[in-house]
Structure 1
Amino acid sequence: MEAIIGQRIRNSRIHKGLSLQEVADSIGVSKQMVNKYELGKSMPTSDKLIAISKLFNQKIDYFFRKSEVVIGEISFRKKSNFGVKKVNSLKEEIRIQIENYLFIENICNVSNAFENPLQDYAIQEEQDVKTAVNTLRNHWNIGQDAIHNIIELLEDNHIKVIEVDDDSKKFDGLATVIDGKYHIIVITKAMPIERKRFTLLHELGHLLLPIATLEEKQQEKLCNVFASEMLLSENNLITELGNQRSRITFEELKNVQEKYGMSISAIVYKLGETKIMSQERVKKFYQKLNFDAALKQSVELSRYDGQEHSIRYENLAYRAVSEELISMSKASSLLQISLDELNSKLTSNLR
């Protein structure tokens, strides 16, 4: 038990980005004693464990629960000044959420089997990616329709979406596979919705496309093509705006944005990529965007009117407590809400 509690304390400390000394000062013990807690060489007294739980904003039962998930190495596409401390903190946040997610799935006896319909594809160039996108859309029964809720689509197809807070604005998303079977995309919660949708699909490209042997730069490029084609295929773009255009109105771009949930800048880029517009025209658009304050504000204020938020985990937790598969206290811990708030939410349940 000491080892389990010790590991939980260490994980929580890393998650909060605190040093041994900072934890020691907060709970009123020595730095050496905190180190002993983490190594499982000493057990915190009840009052110290309460202090630790308050410091880390965790329920007491969290420190007694054995970790059932081991996350392998995960990589971040990040700015150069994204420090090791922040990376480790983010990894712990991801680990906590994934562990809770898998726990609640198992309690509810929900299948989490995932099938990758693109695993046997040979991907070397952009056209290969576009062909793969058509295969995936057909396999997931979405045809050429606009995707209104990407997170819902991913979770319906057994890909877990974890949303995290990142005030530093240096992290967008990542994709990882745990134990060779749990496919997970992690996304920053607060970002413009079009960027969020593009990032989700970019990470999906990393999960599904067999491109691990390619250079990193090429992988990123192909995943961008994958995201772009999933959001707005070349065929759909031609249908909406025509085969060739010398000029295009802002209202047309806004209408396409509202339908497909893709940023105006990304739509213009795709117009150039598909040669519907000349690269010279695309370049002029970006130049105008940089120097025309009114246009820049219009583009920044224009938003897709949709929702991209994961609710599956929350729904499973409410399902588990309403079916009495877990206790109220456990549900409160999993949902990170008080018992009073949980009671309030459950009073409206249908019985």
Structure 2
Amino acid sequence: MNAFAERLKSARKMKGWSLQELADNIPVSISKQALHKYESGLMHPTGEVLIALSKALGLRPDYFLRKSIELGPIAFRKKARLGSKEIDSIKEKVKEFLERYLEVEQLLNIQVRFKNPIGNIQIADESEVDHAVLKLISKWNLGHDPIPNVIEMLEENGVRVIAIDAPESFDGLSTFVNDIPVVVISNQFTVERKRFTALHELGHLVLNMDAEIDQERICNLFAGAMLLPDNVLERHLGEKRNNIAIGELVSIKEEFGISVQAAMMRAQFKGIIDKSGVDRFWKTIASNKKEEGLGSFAGSEKSYRFEHLVFRLAAEEVVSMSKAAALAGMKLSDFREKLEAA
């Protein structure tokens, strides 16, 4: 299969379309059979057809010339109703964004080498999670205050974080591209869920977990400990409680950017609250799992690094304004307006 054929197939999967759906959406007459030949490398489109394909797929023609990347093994969190087409679409969206991101870094001669500070800690059971978290916090100089922006913190430490538009049934994924760790979350998440999910996926990337343990639970414990490290909860709630008011947990949510439910799970794990108190909490929260009306974290979860790098490319005239806009995934007029206003 030639490079164009691979790119066309990836672009179609990114849209979540079948060959027939692509044929139905092209502004010129192209059969499903002809498209199959393009994807098989048996035919190459004319310039007119290439432009038509680009319009139908919402991509610039130079997308089909860009070098492809391959994702490594993926830790994929999803609900059972997430179908194969949706999974393929998510993977292709991740690849397309990373291709642009890595090209921007290459043009600026930026080389980021990720080093896992806790890879030598073997996680055989959940009791070892807090030790790994404390070491990571120390190595990354995070302190024990609330993390203002988890996504930006991860990017500063060599992790690429991608927020994509995805179905509600998608939770998150993590993988490596070469030696670059990648975390993917959904744009639809609340700010608290974005923070927790990003750190859960980080757990998959940095924790050296025994194969037989429940890795999803371990990564949940890891995320909770990163947001509420060491004895933070004890300072807020005390060492032993029979009952914790929802209002106390809302206050923690607003300060530390962790959901009320995740904060309670952390309190249970730390042995602060007994089983009867936990049971009462889950009965209370059962009808409001989305925590509507229960406060929110005032911060935002967004990565600014990629945008800053693309602006730098344009400002230093490393590439044309049009090329910079394409790398940013924006229309030229929108990119120019944002650059001049930045």
* TM-score interval for Structure 1 and Structure 2 normalised by the shorter chain: over 0.9
SS in 2 for 1:174: strand
Partner of 2:3: 4
Contact 2:175 2:181 in 1 (8 A): yes
List per-residue Cα deviations over 1:27-58 (Å, max 9, x = no partner): 31122211221222222122211110101111
- Among 234, 237, 240, the alignment partner of 1:241 is 237
Q: Name the amino acid aligned to 2:102.
A: L
* Residue segments in structure 1 that go unaligned for 5+ positions in a row: none
List per-residue Cα deviations over 1:162-186 (Å, max 9, x = no partner): 11111x211111110122x111101
Q: Name the amino acid aligned to 1:63.
A: F
Indicate the percent of aligned positions where both proteins have the same amino acid: 40
**Distance in 2 of aligned mates of 1:221 and 1:73:** 20
**Distance in 2 of aligned mates of 1:190 and 1:343:** 27
Q: Are 2:315 and 1:322 equivalent residues in the alignment?
A: yes
Q: Are 2:191 and 1:193 equivalent residues in the alignment?
A: yes
Change (3 A) 1:298 1:116: closer
**Distance in 1 of aligned mates of 2:9 and 2:272:** 55
- Among 330, 333, 336, the alignment partner of 1:337 is 330
Shift of 1:300: 4.5
**Distance in 1 of aligned mates of 2:290 and 2:161:** 31
TM-score normalised by structure 2 residue count: 0.94
**Distance in 2 of aligned mates of 1:90 and 1:137:** 31
- Among 262, 270, 275, the alignment partner of 1:274 is 270
**Distance in 2 of aligned mates of 1:41 and 1:324:** 39
Shift of 1:125: 1.6
**Distance in 2 of aligned mates of 1:65 and 1:242:** 56
Contact 1:161 1:185 in 2 (8 A): yes
SS in 1 for 2:98: helix
Partner of 1:262: 258
Q: Name the amino acid aligned to 1:214.
A: A
Q: Name the amino acid aligned to 1:24.
A: A
Q: Name the amino acid aligned to 1:222.
A: I
SS in 1 for 2:116: coil
Shift of 1:63: 1.5
Partner of 1:251: 247
Alpha-carbon RMSD across the aligned residues, in angstroms, is 1.9
Q: Name the amino acid aligned to 1:87.
A: I
Change (3 A) 1:297 1:219: closer
Worse-matched range after superposition: 54-63 or 328-337: 328-337
Where does 1:35-50 land on structure 2 (aligned, <5 Å)?
35-50=36-51
**Distance in 1 of aligned mates of 2:272 and 2:31:** 67
Contact 2:73 2:176 in 1 (8 A): no
Contact 1:234 1:274 in 2 (8 A): no
Contact 2:264 2:278 in 1 (8 A): yes
Contact 1:37 1:43 in 2 (8 A): yes
Question: Would you identify which runs of 4 or more consecutive aligned residues in structure 1 move more than 6 Å?
Answer: none
Partner of 1:94: 94
Q: Name the amino acid aligned to 1:322.
A: A
- Among 297, 304, 315, the alignment partner of 1:304 is 297
SS in 1 for 2:132: helix
Where does 1:194-213 land on structure 2 (aligned, <5 Å)?
194-211=192-209, 213=210
**Distance in 2 of aligned mates of 1:137 and 1:297:** 29
Where does 1:89-238 land on structure 2 (aligned, <5 Å)?
89-166=89-166, 168-179=167-178, 181-211=179-209, 213-215=210-212, 218-238=214-234
SS in 1 for 2:183: strand
Contact 1:203 1:223 in 2 (8 A): yes
**Distance in 1 of aligned mates of 2:339 and 2:117:** 39
Worse-matched range after superposition: 326-335 or 19-28: 19-28
Shift of 1:224: 1.1
Shift of 1:234: 4.3
List per-residue Cα deviations over 1:8-39 (Å, max 9, x = no partner): 11111111111222222333112221122122
Q: Name the amino acid aligned to 1:175.
A: S
SS in 2 for 1:187: strand
Shift of 1:269: 2.3
**Distance in 1 of aligned mates of 2:290 and 2:45:** 55
SS in 2 for 1:347: helix
Q: Name the amino acid aligned to 1:33.
A: A
Shift of 1:97: 0.8
| Alignment size in residue pairs | 340
